[in-house]
Each structure stands twice: as C-alpha cells, then as structure tokens.
Amino acid sequence: MTEPLLSATGLSKRFPNGVAAVDDVSLSLRRGEILGLVGESGSGKSTTAKMVLRLLRPDAGQVVFAGHDLTRATGAQLRRLRARLQLVPQSPQTSLNPRLTVGEAIAFNLRAHGWRRSAIQARVADMLDRVGVPPADAGRYPHEMSGGQVQRVALARALATDPELIVCDEAVSALDKSIQAQVLNLLAELQRETGVAILFISHDLAVVEHIADRVAVMYLGRVVEEGDTHQIWTAPNDPYTRELLSSIPPIR
C-alpha cells in the first residue's frame, strides 16, 4: 500500500468562544483521488479545508502532505509545498481580485514561484485555453465576465503551478445548474488529464455523489461516516448520513 498524498490526523480547532468548530478530524487522500467532504452549515468542513491548506493553524493534529509535515513547514519549504497544494474558492464575486485582469490573477501564482515573464504569458494563455476561456480574454476584469467564466479562471489559476492537490471549497455551488454542469464536466476532464487529487467540499450531495470517489460526511465538527461514494449512497451506516441522503429531493 502506497503512502497517501495527504493525511490529516486528529485536526481540532476551537473558535475563540470555546465552541469546537472541528473536533478530531482525520482525512486521507491518495494521488489522483477525489474525496468529497459534505456537511451542512456549521459542520466544520470549511474550517477543515483551511487547516489542510494551512490558512488556519489547528489547535491539535497535523497535516502531512507528500511526506512533509505541512503544520510545521516554514519559509521556503512551505512556499514550495504551497505550489503543489492549491485552492479554488467559492464565490464568483470574490474568488478573483476585482482590480487585476484574469491574466494577472493567474500570472500572480506563477510569479510567486519564480516563473519568468516570457514563460508566464504563454502559460496563462495555455491555462485559459484549457479551462475553455478564450486566451484573448486575459486582459479582461472579473466583473466583465460571467460567474461560470470566473470560476473557470479560478480553476486555471489553481492548476497553473501543476499542483498535486486542489481544494475546491464549494467551487460550483454558487453557479446556475446549466453552468455548474459545464464546470463539473470541465473539472472531471482536467482531473483525468492532470491526475490531480481533489478535496471537493460541498453542501450539495448530488454534486458530491457525481464527482467524488470517496466521501467523508461531517456533522457538528466530526466526520461521522467515510467511505466509497457508491457504498455510502446505497448503504449508509450513520443515522445522520441516512437523514441527509433522504432529504435530497427526487430528481428522477
């Protein structure tokens, strides 16, 4: 059995008011795997994501990414690791800096890792093309684009440094369904091409069922059930998972 790409063990985080946002959460992801993290508001899924990305320091527990202890990494080592671990945020309104063009937004991530100016331009055009945005749009500002386009650019930005893992935090939740379908198809296609592993965080069970190989269900700061997506959908063990699944309105 090979070592997992990401293994988070015993992550805990209390808010300043003493409430446990995340309580002893452990997750692991293999290379090229899509792990869905589902839960309702207040379940701690976004806090968990922030700790995995080291945007938030856990009170306890550690995150090991590609054999390195991310919780303890500092300086240049941390920055190098970050190139391999990227975020696709939620809101089309704020996932891109309103004052930068979409080309500059992608270039920023490349520049942070020492890419040369000449190489950056070609890479930006290539990334935009791969996410289905005309490279000629590199000079446009986020507010001139649709929500779906913005999220495609956010995906291009995350993939620009060839990461091994991207964290999608409700990355398609704010989109209209027909646009969401386009972006989900794109995400699946890019995942196949690049072999990137994805931690896919969503409150939308149907979307997670569609995209994830494995699922972890969070409730009140804990992982209550984890397993193969198909198995959880057909035979959920935990009572909360059962309630969650039964609340999905029937599609067909």
Partner 1 sequence: MSELLEIENLTVDFVAGQRVAHAVRGVTLRLGAGRTTVVLGESGSGKSVTARAVMGLLGGGARVGGAVRLGGESLLDLNERAMRSRRGRDIGLVPQDPGGSLDPLRKVGAQVAEVLRAHGVLTSRAARRERVMELLTLAGIRTPERVAKSYPHELSGGMRQRVVIAAAIACGPRLLIADEPTTALDMTVQAQILELFGSLQRELDMAILLVTHDVGVARLMASSVVVMYAGRVVEEGPGDRVLDRPAHPYTAALLGAQPHPGVPRGELVGLPGLPPSATTVTEGRCALVPRCAHAVAECSTTSPVLEPVTDGGSVACPVPWTADERRVG
Partner 2 sequence: MAISPPSPRSRPPAALVAGTVAVLALVLVAALAPLLPLPDPDVGDLSHRLLSLGSPGHPLGTDGQGRDVLSRLVWGTQASLVAGLVPVAVAGTLGTLLGIVAGLGGPRLENTVMRGLDVIFAFPAVLLAISIAASLGAGLVSMLVALSVILVPAVARVVVTEVAGLRELDFMQAARASGARWPTIARWHVLPNILPQVSVYCSALVGLCVVLGAGLSFLGLGVAPPRAEWGAMVDDLRQHVFTAPLLALLPAAAIFLASVVFNVLGEGLRSHFDVRSRHTA
141 binds, among partner 2, partner 1, none (CB under 5 to 8 A by kind): partner 2
72 binds, among partner 1, partner 2, none (CB under 5 to 8 A by kind): none
Told to check if 29 binds partner 1 by CB under 8 A, we report: no
Least CB distance to partner 2 at residue 114 (A): 10
Strands 60-65 and 68-69: antiparallel
Handedness of CA 187, 83, 161, 174 (dihedral sign): positive
Told to check if 41 binds partner 1 by CB under 8 A, we report: yes
Handedness of CA 42, 43, 45, 51 (dihedral sign): positive
Alpha carbons 196 and 34: distance in angstroms, whole number: 9
Alpha carbons 208 and 211: distance in angstroms, whole number: 5
Nearest to 156 by CA among 107, 226, 210: 107
Least CB distance to partner 2 at residue 224 (A): 27
Least CB distance to partner 2 at residue 102 (A): 11
Q: Binding to partner 1 (CB under 8 A): which residues in 174-213?
A: 176-182, 184-189, 192, 203-207, 209-211
27 binds, among partner 1, partner 2, none (CB under 5 to 8 A by kind): none
Alpha carbons 17 and 116: distance in angstroms, whole number: 46
3-state secondary structure (DSSP) of residue 6: strand
Told to check if 13 binds partner 2 by CB under 8 A, we report: no
Size of the site for partner 2 (CB under 8 A): 39
Alpha carbons 120 and 236: distance in angstroms, whole number: 47
187 binds, among partner 2, partner 1, none (CB under 5 to 8 A by kind): partner 1
Binding mask 129-168 toward partner 1 (x if CB under 8 A, else -) reads ---x-------------x-x--------------------
Residue 243's CB is within 10 A of a number of other CB atoms, namely 11
Told to check if 40 binds partner 1 by CB under 8 A, we report: yes
Tokens coding 1: 């059995």
3-state secondary structure (DSSP) of residue 74: coil
Tokens coding 145: 């684009």
Alpha carbons 75 and 39: distance in angstroms, whole number: 34
Whichever of 58 and 92 has its CB closer to partner 1, that residue is: 92
State the residues that interact with partner 1 by CB under 8 A.
Answer: 40-41, 132, 146, 148, 176-182, 184-189, 192, 203-207, 209-211, 233, 243-244, 246-252
State the residues that interact with partner 2 by CB under 8 A.
Answer: 50, 53, 55, 78-83, 85-91, 93-100, 104-105, 108-109, 111-113, 141-143, 154, 157-158, 161, 167
